[in-house]
């Protein structure tokens, strides 16, 4: 069965500092990988996705993620965070079929001044 | 362009009352549709998915049901709500392996 692990429940980063959110997945075939962001009380916004090709994926809001098959990881990075980046971040994996996505439990990002 | 509408945004219902949440999609046809639930402090759990009218698959046994009476309409229902049904419910549709989510319904069962 497919699964996603986000080992960090909370992360606190100073504004302007770099960020890396970890994501490890388990999937029996070639995975489709996603990162979503959720602001309080809101729906999910897609940051970026990986299907194939270049393993370094660029997304919106200055985020990027790198797919590492050997480590079963898809970590999210940003070189310099802004206070508006404070939110919940979810990593997800799917196979492209009709059975939807499997999400990690999320990482709550706190930005301190 | 494709859009997804979900309502109501918030709902407070007493235990034992019925529930109906609606999701509609515009700008596409024959989408795959999904209902997810996000309980407090937890990730998102897939509840139901549908590949077409009248075709519903359930991921977990629960107090809820789903229906798809029209191609772009997906409804989540319950005959009698439980306290444990409280949570944030999200509708989503998929296209070309991408997924778009609605703005969600915050359900509080009291």
Question: Structure tokens of B54?
Answer: 């009248």
Nearest CA in chain B to A52: B97
Interface membership of B40 toward A (CB under 8 Å): no
For residues B47-76, give the mean pLDDT: 91
Instruction: Say how many residues make up chain A.
Output: 113
For residues A72-99, give the mean pLDDT: 91
Question: Is there a contact between B104 and A43 if contact means CB atoms under 8 Å apart?
Answer: yes
Residue B58's alpha-carbon distances to A17, A88, A103, B36, B64, in angstroms, are: 43, 26, 17, 11, 10
Compute the Cα dihedral for A79, A81, A84, A86 and give only its sign.
Answer: positive
* High-pLDDT (> 70) share of chain B, %: 96
Count of Cβ atoms closer than 10 Å to residue A68 Cβ: 11
Question: What is the DSSP-derived secondary structure letter of residue B54?
Answer: T
For residues A63-82, give the mean pLDDT: 96
Question: Is there a contact between A98 and B32 if contact means CB atoms under 8 Å apart?
Answer: yes
Q: Which residues contact A97 (CB under 8 A, 6 or more apart)?
A: none
- The least confident of A15-19, A63-67, B31-35, B59-63 is B59-63
Of A43, A51, A98, the CB nearest to B51: A98
Interface contacts (A, B; CB < 8 Å): 59
Res B97: pLDDT: 66
> In this model, does residue A105 exceed pLDDT 70?
yes
Contacts of B98 in chain A (CB under 8 A): 46, 49
């Amino acid at each position: 069965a497919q699964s996603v692990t986000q080992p960090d429940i909370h992360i606190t980063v100073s504004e302007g500092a770099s960020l890396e959110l970890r994501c490890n997945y388990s999937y029996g075939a070639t995975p489709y990988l996603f990162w979503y962001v959720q602001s309080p009380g809101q729906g999910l916004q897609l940051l970026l996705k990986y299907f194939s090709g270049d393993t370094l994926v660029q997304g919106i809001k200055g985020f990027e993620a790198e797919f590492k098959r050997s480590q079963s990881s898809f970590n999210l990075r940003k070189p310099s965070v802004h206070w508006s980046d404070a939110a919940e971040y979810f990593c997800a994996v799917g196979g492209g079929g009709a059975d939807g996505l499997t999400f990690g439990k999320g990482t709550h990002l706190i930005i301190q001044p | 362009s494709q859009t997804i509408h979900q309502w109501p945004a918030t709902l407070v219902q007493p235990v034992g009352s019925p529930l109906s949440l609606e999701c509609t999609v515009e700008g596409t046809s024959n989408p795959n549709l999904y209902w997810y639930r996000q309980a407090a402090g937890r990730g998102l759990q897939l509840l139901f998915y549908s590949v077409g009218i009248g075709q519903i698959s359930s991921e977990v046994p629960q107090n809820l049901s789903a229906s798809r009476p029209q191609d772009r309409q997906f409804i989540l229902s319950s005959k009698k709500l439980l306290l444990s049904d409280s949570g944030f419910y999200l509708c989503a549709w998929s296209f070309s392996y991408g997924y778009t989510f609605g703005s969600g319904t915050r359900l509080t069962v009291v």
